[in-house]
Amino acid sequence: MTTNTREHQFIEDMRQKLGKRLVILAHHYMSDAVARHADYTGDSLELSRRIPDLDAEYIVFCGVFFMAETAAILAKPGQKVFIPEMNSRCVMSDMAPAWLAERVLDTLAEGGLSVTPLTYVNSSAAVKALVGSRGGSVCTSANAKTMLTWALAKGPHTLFLPDFRLGFNAADWIGLPKEDRHIVDVREHGRAVNLDKARRAKLLLWPGQCVIHSRFKPETIRKARAESPGCLVVVHPECHPNTVALADACGSTSFIIKFVAEAPEGSVIYVGTEFNLVNRLADKYRGVKDVRPLLYSTCSNMEKVTEPNLAKLLADLDEAPTVQVDEALKDPAKLALTRMLEACAR
């Protein structure tokens, strides 16, 4: 149960005062204390789809930094994008710095490989711009299957970054044989890539991962099933493929929400994703369905966005620092995102 704090009242007063000039977006992994103030909650795909239609002067993104950057790329001129905590970084996105991704792509190109890069939305604006400038696009966990099919259709090789687990799971969903996949060696400033192995693979995977979802192991699912025979298990595709293989279902946060909503009354459902979302679902269905975390796993960066720092931001929006994206990155990054939005609109 989330209590009503002084900050809660202040934020609601500011929302009332600013009216349509302010829009607050919150990712599903936000705590209840933050999410309850949002005009829109959603996963990365749902929230990025909303940005082009927003007319608000102030867009406050409650999530991790790359999400606010994505909003800044898609926002209209003159709109100001904020994040309550600038230092809330996605550890996975930081595993693929743009300079290194560029060197790896250069090494592959020098080796004669034609590669379409496809980056998970959990990546910096600089990586999105790089991908956009090399004919590639972006995907989210909700559309990874569609976008991987799109990228593979464009040419002989796709480089999927930064999450090799999502890449592997998406490859499983489209039936790409295991021998067509290769995890690239990104050491030695991108010069350690094994070109022979890369040449033989259709799908090249960057060796990044989400530490929060890595905690869900196959044995975690076995333990849950032993404790509650007949239970349902749903996990996020940032989990290891061996974990996914033992679950009843796997999908984005929106998929998970739908899965829980559609599960029969009385069922026990273990959910393998960030704890704040699981906790919210457990509260929502209490007494109807038993929603349990597969494991207590929180994203410490998502948790850096709090009700107090949201209140502090709203207290002085005109003086607060905005999320800035280098002008030179905006067009190619937008191109990469637009390719995704168009491919998924079909």
Q: Which residues bind ligand SF4 (CB under 6 A)?
A: 64, 90-92, 122, 210, 212, 238, 274, 299, 301-302
In the complex, the smallest distance separating the C-beta of residue 253 from ligand SF4, rounded to whole angstroms, is 10
Least separation in angstroms between residue 161's CB and ligand SF4 is: 13
Report the Cα–Cα distance between both ends of the chain, in Å, rounded. Answer: 41
Closer residue to ligand SF4, CB minimum distance, 79 or 93: 93
DSSP string, 156-180: SEEEEESBHHHHHHHHHHTT--GGG
CB 249 within 8 A of CB 255: yes
304 vs 312 by CB, closer to ligand SF4: 304
3-state class percentages of the chain: helix first, strand second, coil last, to nearest 5? 50, 15, 35
Smallest separation, CB 122 to ligand SF4 (Å): 5
Minimum CB separation of residue 302 from ligand SF4 in Å reads: 6
Instruction: Find all residues with CB under 8 Å of 188, minimum gap 6, and list them.
Output: none
- Find the shortest distance in angstroms from Cβ 141 to ligand SF4: 9
Of 7 and 238, nearer to ligand SF4 (C-beta) is 238
Q: Are 272 and 247 in contact (CB under 8 A)?
A: yes
81 vs 299, beta carbon nearer ligand SF4: 299
C-beta atoms surrounding 254 within 10 Å: 17
What the block records as the tokens of 257 is 């929400």
Task: Return the number of the residue (214 or 267) whose C-beta is nearest ligand SF4.
Answer: 214
Q: How many Å apart are CA 324 and CA 57, to the nearest integer?
A: 15
- SS3 state at 341: helix
Nearest CB to ligand SF4, comparing residues 150 and 275: 275
Give the nearest distance from C-beta 56 to ligand SF4 in angstroms: 24
